[in-house]
Chains A and B, each alone.
Chain A
Amino acid sequence: MKGIYTLEKIQKERDISKQAAINLISRLRKKGFVKTSGGGKQIRLYKISDKPLQEDNGMYSIINKYTPIKLAPSIMHIVYGKKYTVEQTIVDCLKKNDSRHSLAAVFLLNNIRDWKKLNKLIIEHKLESKFNILYNLARENVRVKKMPAFFEKDLSKSKKKIHLDINKFDITGAR
């Protein structure tokens, strides 16, 4: 069994009762071979694989959860240990150097919970100038929280001139 199934399809293919099909899915799910989508008004679909399905819980899951920019993952990003945060996602988006990721970072600015952590990460990865441009563009075009004074002070130290591949038309278009 491999592919996308409905309960009826499993019943038909295996020639088993509805309860037996439910039990089979349950067993496979416990082993990590099944991913379920739909439910409620939508028909429930079961994605069944012959290998344990690995769920992307990194950068793209956060971007697609918090922003209107839906990005198709160009990498598979799986995180273990501490939860991967919005702050880390912003830094990774800026490091990507690509307009779609920068645009996604704009919409993540409203979900920052730990400005201190973001400040530390931005300084560590030398992204002060990029973040400055991104933040100013976002402030001009979308509703974004004001950054704390200590953060502003740290960012103003950076005088490096850089170009960020994003403009206000991108932002207003995505909004």
Chain B
Amino acid sequence: MIIIEDQNQLFLLIADKISKDIECVAFGGTAMMYKQYKNATKDIDLVFFDLESRDEFARAIKKLGYKESNYLRSIYPKEKSKMKTAPLMYTRGDERFDLFVKNIFNIKVNESIRQRSTDIRDFNGKKLLRLRILGDEDLILLKAITSREGDFKDIEEICKNNPNIDWGVVVNEAINQGNLLIVIDLEEKMKKLEKEFFIKKKYFDRLYAFDKS
């Protein structure tokens, strides 16, 4: 487990090791920690917009003693795991970095997701490491498509902390991704959430309309 202060110090060390400015998006537990929804996280999840930035970041953490592990590649489909953009995992002791490029499992990290990440943390070392913190709506979408233990609890935590979740944005992004599995997973989680939080019927209707099309 890593707490926010340690994580900030770690990012500052990385900012001193990189040889070019890097921008990436933090999601999962890391994003939830910056949004003060969580106090600690098991892994540091980052997604990069290009392969060069991810490789540069990986090079920097290798210098800090992180070792590559094959776990993420092993859970990916065979053809995808051979691709250069397949996620990389680096560990050192308790800390773990999950590094993605452009996609997080089925979700494509597009320009609109980037624009909605309006919380920015800059780590000003020798070079600039810019972390965009994923918006609440996109965090919910990502948590909705994974069925890990604790993900639904995280969604509930986000909804409790932010009563102004724009479900229209969540639903639209799920539809824009153009993947039926994402829509089905989101609908299932929204149904579960409906018992505790109010979600307008029109958002469900939009999901069902996509399903039929």
Point out the residues of chain B lying under 8 angstroms from A80, CB to CB.
8, 11-12, 121-124
Residues of B within 8 A of A124 (CB): 21
* Interchain CB contact under 8 A, B123 and A81: yes
A148 CA / B146 CA spacing, docked (Å)? 55
The residues of B that contact A79 with a CB separation of less than 8 Å are 121-124
A51 B36 Cβ-Cβ under 8 A? yes
| Interface positions of B from 103 to 136, Cβ below 8 Å from A | 118-125, 128
A77 to B122, CA, bound (A): 7
Does A24 reach chain B (CB closer than 8 Å)?
no
**B15 contacts chain A at the CB level, 8 A cutoff:** yes
What's the nearest-Cβ distance from chain B to residue A25, in Å?
21
B52 to chain A, nearest CB (A): 15
B123 contacts which chain A residues (CB < 8 A)? Answer: 79-81
For B125, what are the chain A residues with a Cβ–Cβ distance below 8 Å?
Answer: 81-82
Residues of chain A lying within 8 A (CB to CB) of residue B21 = 124
**B118 near A74 (CB under 8 angstroms)?**
yes
CB–CB B118/A52 < 8 A: no
Give the CA-CA distance A31 to B102 in the complex, in Å: 38
Verify if A143 is at the interface (C-beta below 8 Å from B). no
Interface string of A42-55 (1 = CB under 8 A from B): 00000000011010
A76 at the interface (CB under 8 A from B): yes
In contact, A81 and B120 (Cβ under 8 angstroms): no
Complex interface: chain B residues within 8 A of A77 (CB): 120, 122
A25–B123 Cα distance when bound, in Å, is 31
Instruction: Tell whether A78 is near chain B: CB-to-CB under 8 Å.
Output: yes
* Cross-chain contact B36 with A78 (CB below 8 angstroms): no
Report yes or no: B36 in contact with A52, Cβ–Cβ below 8 A: yes
A interface residues, Cβ below 8 angstroms from B: 51-52, 54, 58, 74-84, 88, 124
4 additional A-B residue pairs with CB within 8 Å, beyond A58-B122, A75-B118, A76-B120: A78-B120, A79-B121, A80-B124, A124-B21
Interchain residue pairs with CB less than 8 A apart (28): A51-B36, A52-B36, A54-B36, A58-B120, A75-B118, A75-B120, A76-B118, A76-B119, A76-B120, A77-B120, A77-B122, A78-B120, A78-B122, A79-B121, A79-B122, A79-B124, A80-B8, A80-B11, A80-B12, A80-B121, A80-B122, A81-B12, A81-B122, A81-B123, A82-B125, A84-B124, A88-B128, A124-B21
